[in-house]
């Protein structure tokens, strides 16, 4: 199966790097299209078997899957450029643009007035950990068969963990996963600064925090426990942890996290 990826920015390039390590596509079956040569040359240098094309959408004609990895405000223009090269009867179109609904994509895809001909459309929301094949990826679709749903899950499970979700829940999921990774990074940054103030080197503190976060995540995943149950295990009466937790709440930690997530909708 041939794949055309339009866009080789940070996310597009990360997806390419993950896919060429997977089993679904051979590098020679992937074509990356962009309007800038430099990122294409970088990908080609890393993987000579990869196909690249600057501002040329001819590969769309042969592709079984077309993945749009461009900014949301470019989606309509890109679709306008490619839709008459597409064969809606056999192709899957994937968009990773946050905030652009399937209905928005359908409107841009309409070739002729009063026609209902449309391809199978997926919205896929990965996060930046896709660069190391550790993304939490959300997948919504319209018109997809069970086989096509399973294919998308297979593709993106090779790049981390993927789940199918109704499009009505995609904005909330995006706040937790795509935006949420930034909030976790901000926690690491703040906690690292605290570590430095308490006498640790920045590199030491960051390494401690990273491994603590990995351990915490794996613990919750393995036990299935509510986070509060695990908190209780390290919160002894009169101890250091409860003092720190109370200080977090006194400064609005939980409220700030909730507000941040809701602001990301």
140 lies in the same domain as 219:
no
Q: What does the pLDDT read at residue 164?
A: 97
pLDDT at 115 over 80: no
| CATH code, 149 | 3.40.50.720
Q: What does the pLDDT read at residue 116?
A: 72
As a whole number, mean pLDDT of residues 102-118 equals 86
213 lies in the same domain as 91:
no
Among 139, 167, 195, identify where a domain stops.
167
Distance of CA 214 to the CA centre of its chain: 19
160 lies in the same domain as 190:
no
pLDDT at 4 over 90: yes
pLDDT at 42 over 90: yes
As a whole number, mean pLDDT of residues 175-180 equals 96
Secondary structure (3-state) at 120: strand
Residue-wise pLDDT tens digits, 18-36: 999 889 999 999 999 999 9
Q: What does the pLDDT read at residue 112?
A: 77
Q: What does the pLDDT read at residue 114?
A: 67
Are 82 and 6 a contacting pair, CB within 8 Å?
yes
Structural domain contains residue 117: yes
Give the range of the structural domain holding residue 257, as residue numbers without chain letter: 180-263
Q: What does the pLDDT read at residue 243?
A: 97
For the chain, what is the mean pLDDT? Answer: 96
As a whole number, mean pLDDT of residues 204-223 equals 97
As a whole number, mean pLDDT of residues 162-173 equals 97
Structural domain contains residue 215: yes
As a whole number, mean pLDDT of residues 149-170 equals 97
Q: How far apart are CA 224 and CA 247, in angstroms?
A: 27
As a whole number, mean pLDDT of residues 213-227 equals 97
Q: How far apart are CA 142 and CA 127, in angstroms?
A: 22
Q: What does the pLDDT read at residue 131?
A: 85
As a whole number, mean pLDDT of residues 219-244 equals 96
Q: What does the pLDDT read at residue 44?
A: 97
75 lies in the same domain as 184:
no
Structural domain contains residue 172: no
Are 34 and 54 a contacting pair, CB within 8 Å?
yes
As a whole number, mean pLDDT of residues 217-229 equals 97
Q: How far apart are CA 86 and CA 90, in angstroms?
A: 9
Structural domain contains residue 7: yes
| CATH code, 197 | 1.10.3730.10
Residue-wise pLDDT tens digits, 84-96: 999 999 999 999 9
124 lies in the same domain as 212:
no
**pTM score, two decimals?**
0.92
pLDDT at 238 over 70: yes
Among 167, 189, 214, identify where a domain stops.
167
Structure tokens at 259: 């507000």
> What total number of domains does the chain contain?
2
Among 120, 143, 167, identify where a domain stops.
167
As a whole number, mean pLDDT of residues 249-259 equals 97
Secondary structure (3-state) at 119: coil
As a whole number, mean pLDDT of residues 204-226 equals 97
Structural domain contains residue 88: yes
127 lies in the same domain as 201:
no
pLDDT band, very low/low/confident/very high, at 117 (cuts 50, 70, 90): confident
pLDDT at 120 over 80: yes
133 lies in the same domain as 196:
no
């Amino acid at each position: 199966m041939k794949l055309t990826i339009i866009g080789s920015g940070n996310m597009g390039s990360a997806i390419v790097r993950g896919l060429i390590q997977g089993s679904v596509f051979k590098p020679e079956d992937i074509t990356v299209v962009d309007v800038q040569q430099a990122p294409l040359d970088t990908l080609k240098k890393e993987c000579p078997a990869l196909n690249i094309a600057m501002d040329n959408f001819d590969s769309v004609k042969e592709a079984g899957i077309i993945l749009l990895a461009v900014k949301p405000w470019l989606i309509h223009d890109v679709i306008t450029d490619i839709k008459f090269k597409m064969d809606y009867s056999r192709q899957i179109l994937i968009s990773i643009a946050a905030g652009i609904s399937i209905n928005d994509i359908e409107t841009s895809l309409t070739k002729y007035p009063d026609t209902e001909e449309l391809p199978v459309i997926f919205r896929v929301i990965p996060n930046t950990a896709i660069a190391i094949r550790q993304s939490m990826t959300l997948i919504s679709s319209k018109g997809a068969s069970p086989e096509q749903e399973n294919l998308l899950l297979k593709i993106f499970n090779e790049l981390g963990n993927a789940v199918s979700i109704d499009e009505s829940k995609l904005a909330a999921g995006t706040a937790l996963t795509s935006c949420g990774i930034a909030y976790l990074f901000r926690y690491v940054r703040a906690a690292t600064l605290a570590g430095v103030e308490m006498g640790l080197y920045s590199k030491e503190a960051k390494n401690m925090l990273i491994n603590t976060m990995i351990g915490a995540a794996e613990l919750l995943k393995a036990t299935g426990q509510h986070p509060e149950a695990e908190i209780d295990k390290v919160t002894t009466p009169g101890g250091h942890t409860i003092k720190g937790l109370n200080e977090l709440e006194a400064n609005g930690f939980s409220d700030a996290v909730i507000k941040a997530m809701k602001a990301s909708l």
